[in-house]
Amino acid sequence: MKKVISFIIAIVAILGVYNTINPSNAIATSSDLKNKTVQIGGQPFGIKFYSEGALVTKVRENSPADKAGMRVNDIIIGINNEKVKDNEVVRNKIEEYKNRTIKFTINRDYEIIDLNIKPENHNGNYTVGIWIKDSCAGIGTITYYDESNNTFACLGHGICDKESTNLLPMAEGDICPAIIQSVDKAKSGYAGGLNGYFLDDEIGKAYYNSEYGLFCNKEIETSYKEYKVATKEEVKKGTAYIYTTVEGYNPKFYKVNIKPECHFFFDKMKEITIEVTDKELLKKTGGIVQGMSGSPIIQDGKLVGAVTHVFVNNPEKGYGILAETMIEESK
């Protein structure tokens, strides 16, 4: 059975004013990776992501939760000292206790807080006045497979709440292949996106939802082409290629230009600036679209990074993260 998905995992960057940090040919200096090699990805994947607890997405004004101090993006991790695994636990406990006071234990930016809230009868149902969610699904791109530790890395950024862009705490994540069926073409002011469906075969389990990528344990054998990982000083302005999939499952190389601007002092997800110059890709997608996050960037036969963001006002351009940063984060 296949599951059709149109919601795409991606963080979209709005084009802003920035300074050129390093106008020379080399973008940065770094430590030696000692001939580190990985298998490059480029394949689309689907994730079924389950958060740790229940994420508060909305708080009704003047509701019991609002009066008690609950906020959007609080994560409910316990009720009356019982662990909260999903939304259903929260709903059942509110119905069980009805108009009796309940102790909600929440995680607020990694600070654990207890709030005492008494449900109210609202339109015939007992409620504390919150909207919550515990899971999401989407499509992204695999960056590389690391045979040395049987893992693989994706996205180049973390999975975040769509409204707040805050990183979602992960309980577990199931990774499976995805097939790209169509593309919503990008244009100025609209990021576009890849649309596709999940296959049933699981290829791995996510173990770390990081600001700099989604990292997973590999459950399948892979034999894709190996590339050396470039160090920062090896990344330079000029011609490069992104390896990505915009139809089916098999990725292709598309020509891009690495620009001299870099941002590694400020935001590691925007360490590289790229511009799509490939006519075929521009015709198909209009540039970088949501779902390409994680697409490997190849220059001079080495993996230099992964696509992370698109400039909404100019989708032919976007940001990338250095492969070195992802390798270091995975340790």
Active-site residues, by number, are 157, 278, 293
- On whether the CB atoms of residues 242 and 297 are closer than 8 A, the answer is yes
Spatial CA neighbour of 292 closest among 27, 4, 50, 13:
13
Using alpha carbons, list the distances in angstroms from residue 331 to 153, 227, 311.
11, 19, 30
- For residues 194 and 120, give the distance between their C-alpha atoms in angstroms, rounded to a whole number: 43
Question: Cα 317 vs. chain centroid, distance in angstroms?
Answer: 19
Q: 């309940």: which residue's tokens?
A: 102
Distance from the first to the final alpha carbon of the chain: 35
- For residues 315 and 281, give the distance between their C-alpha atoms in angstroms, rounded to a whole number: 12
DSSP SS3 for 163: coil
Amino acid letter, 103: K
